A = this chain, B = another copy of it.
Amino acid sequence: MNLPLTEARNTCGSADSQVVATKLAALSHPARIEILKHLSASRSCCCREVVDHLDLAQSTVSQHLKILVDAGLVRYEPDRQRSRYQVDREALAGLSASLTTLVNSCCSGC
């Protein structure tokens, strides 16, 4: 597990904080967490599948998916009239690593 983060120690790195914050914001909604779980359970999902699973309007689910895609946590691939959404495991692992790094930097100071 190599961490690609080189400036994790920078206490003044507001740019870094901004990037991490944006990705965490994408995960800071229960519906989107559920979507992520569901996506990972199936190999790939179309929007309709998620709609059936979540009891939200189709437009709402589509927006949540878009937010996840924009954050780089989910990959999107149009497939005929369907859409195919897939968890970007590397990106998710990277975010997890970022948070771990933050936690470690918080715990190393004492």
Contacts and interface: CB of A to CB of B under 8 A. Distances in A.
Contacts of A105: 37, 40
A10 interface: yes
Contacts of A32: 21
Interface string A3-38: 001000111111001101110110111111110111
Contacts of A9: 53-55
A105 B39 CA distance: 11
A48 interface: no
Interface residues of A, number: 49
Tell me the interface secondary structure of chain A in the complex: helix
Tally of this chain's copies: 2
Nearest to A33: B17
Nearest to A94: B103
Interface string A70-110: 00000000000000000101001101100110110111011
Contact of A107 (B17, B18, B40): B40
Given A41-B11, A106-B40, A109-B40, A28 B30 contact: no
